[in-house]
Copies of this chain bind each other. A is one copy, B any other.
């Protein structure tokens, strides 16, 4: 995609960096009969509630405010206050899923060569968008932040997934959150906190938003209804320090006027449904069981060739192989053997030849499938080493 065939018209410079997403390419084959997929981050379809529009007011079909529906914004702000983040409904902007939030924040901050601080590894679709707008990516260690380097390199913002990080599964503890917030505050680096997995907690752990600990620097917190409710509704939200809201709202308006109002109505009904807590508890219990079964299978097949940390929440195991092979080269062989996974290299902010790491989703496959798929995958790793 770097060189354009002559039949194509002249595209923007940023389009040269517009690569097909590895996730997208893999999702195109995971529906193949017999495929065992550890690739995606799809929530379990069993958990989706039945939806009804029977009591929806017809004016939900009219154009609406760019900020989103007031009652939904009120609900979100109240919920975040119980989680420790001091905010009001005026600070909430409803977006068409988390991916749109990433696009809006990138538009707000990133020019060609703008430095942006990211974890390594981190969510690959965020890296894609930041690169697309021209960011110069700087890796930082969220578990041991270096204030001097933040001050020296002055990134436009720091992107962070403190809770059940994608892909690593790591959850920052209270002391780590305090230290990272203090460092970013001191260096006055704006913070973009992405928090889609917070409700998928299998072990007790700290989940207070990092943004709740900031005192001086501007911040944007992002939440999603894709993992705890349903991704097909494409609904998420940004909550930001007040000075950023007018800019984000205008960017939202220019991007798609406002978010789907039927989804906003449906989501608010679901949030106010007393059965919601039981539904999420069931979902969490089922994912916890899958995580545990998956880890047992990992021990059987990968115990001697890889290391990992048990993810206390979220959807992924992040494996570090003892041999540092290029896991991208492993993928076509795995697909041919009917097992799909995500190579680790696209999650890194810098080009590397081989990182010997890979991401495995544990929420989609059954325990039996996990055992079979991991056995096949381990055999391929052994033959590649």
Contacts and interface: CB of A to CB of B under 8 A. Distances in A.
Interface of A: 5, 7-15, 18-21, 24, 27, 40, 42-43, 45, 48, 50-54, 56, 58-64, 66, 96-97, 99-100, 103, 107-111, 114, 125, 128-129, 132-133, 156-157, 188, 190, 217-218, 226, 230-234, 243-244, 246-247, 250-251, 253-263, 266
Contacts of A103: 254-256
29 contacts: A9-B156, A9-B190, A10-B109, A10-B156, A12-B107, A12-B108, A12-B114, A12-B133, A15-B107, A18-B247, A21-B254, A24-B66, A27-B63, A42-B63, A43-B62, A45-B61, A48-B61, A50-B58, A51-B262, A52-B52, A52-B53, A60-B232, A63-B232, A96-B96, A99-B254, A99-B257, A103-B256, A232-B262, A234-B258
Contacts of A14: 107, 111
A1 to B, nearest CB: 8
Pairs A-B, 4 closest by C-beta atoms: A61-B230, A232-B261, A61-B232, A48-B61
Given A9-B157, A40-B63, A62-B232, 14 more contacts: A9-B190, A14-B111, A18-B251, A27-B63, A42-B63, A96-B96, A96-B256, A97-B257, A99-B256, A128-B254, A129-B254, A233-B261, A262-B263, A262-B266
A101 to B, nearest CB: 9
B243 A260 contact: no
Contact of A255 (B114, B190, B255, B262): B255
Given A108-B12, A256-B100, A45 B59 contact: yes
Contact of A110 (B8, B12, B100, B110): B12
Contact of A250 (B20, B109, B244): B20
Given A255-B99, A257-B97, A250 B21 contact: yes
A116 to B, nearest CB: 11
A200 to B, nearest CB: 16
Given A243-B8, A258-B234, A260-B233, A250 B107 contact: no
B56 A54 contact: no
A234 B255 contact: no
Contacts of A10: 109, 156
